[in-house]
Amino acid sequence: VPTLSLRGVSKRFPTGTTALTGVDLDVTPGEFVSVVGPSGCGKSTLLRLASGLDGVTGGEIDVAATTTSYVFQDATLLEWRSALKNVELAGELRGVPRSERRAAAQAALDLVGLTGFEKQHPRQLSGGMRMRVSIARALVAEPDLALFDEPFGALDEITRLRMQTELQRLFELKRFAGLFITHSVSEAVYLSTRVVVMSGRPGRIVDEVEVPWAYPR
Ligand code: ADP
Ligand code: ADP
């Protein structure tokens, strides 16, 4: 059963703009699906609908996930909390005991290469490091579904290459169902098990390509 399923989804904003029309898309467990397409074709709208942040105006979306994580482009961290405390937040909200959530946050920071930076506050960290904290925070929740909206768009190229490798390693380990928005075709092909191409206004899916070499099945 797919973790995320969209059937004939359309979205018309109150302004009159129709951003999406007739979108059918399934993401099954262990699939990492990238969505590529030009600016304005509705990629972000698609992700916001999948996350439940906004509602469809046509069709339906089914989510068979207990935990969904969402990573934005501009790593939205809480400035008054340390890196560790930012990653601990999900556990706090779920009532996980302190020692347990601390250990999990520590392990997640270690996975993204931030051991030694636990006590730093976001403003003391570089853009790449903030993004890594944001990814650690998303993954510590052990999500069944992870949604990424151009998370590396604002990074310099070297940091981006490092983060792509990092994310690939994390996906190999955790095998969540992933939906990843990007306007970089090479990034999509490098990271995904399947690339979905969107185009037009309103946006629709115009092509889909499996990436057979991406990960061991
Ligand atoms: P992309 O992520 O592919 O660049 P978006 O999903 O951001 O595309 O936007 C798709 C279309 O929907 C654009 O025409 C955009 O102007 C419009 N749009 C996005 N969000 C809103 C909104 N909240 N209200 C009205 N129009 C919107
Ligand atoms: P990134 O590649 O994550 O953007 P930078 O290129 O800015 O990081 O920094 C390279 C290295 O410098 C980091 O991996 C880290 O070891 C160190 N560094 C960066 N910012 C800080 C900081 N605020 N405090 C301590 N060390 C830092």
109/94: higher pLDDT: 109
Q: Look at residue 51 and give its three-state secondary structure.
A: helix
CA of 121 to the centre of ligand 1 (A): 33
Q: What is the pLDDT of residues 13-31, one digit of tens each?
A: 999 999 999 999 999 999 9
Give the rounded percent of residues in the chain with a pLDDT score beyond 90: 71
Atom of ligand 1 at shortest range from CA of 37? 3
C-beta neighbour count of 26 within 10 angstroms: 16
> pTM here?
0.85
Nearest alpha carbon, ligand 1 atom 17: 19
> For position 217, what pLDDT does the model report?
57
Distance CA(63)–CA(43), nearest Å, equals 18
ipTM: 0.75
> For position 141, what pLDDT does the model report?
83
Pocket lining for ligand 1, CB < 6 angstroms: 13, 15, 17, 19, 37, 39-45
CA of 24 to the centre of ligand 1 (A): 19
Distance CA(70)–CA(146), nearest Å, equals 6
Ligand whose nearest atom lies closest to the CA of 181: 1
Atom of ligand 1 at shortest range from CA of 183? 3
Q: What is the pLDDT of residues 114-148, one digit of tens each?
A: 999 999 999 999 888 998 899 889 888 889 999 99
Q: Which two tokens stand for residue 111?
A: 């996975």
Distance CA(91)–CA(95), nearest Å, equals 6
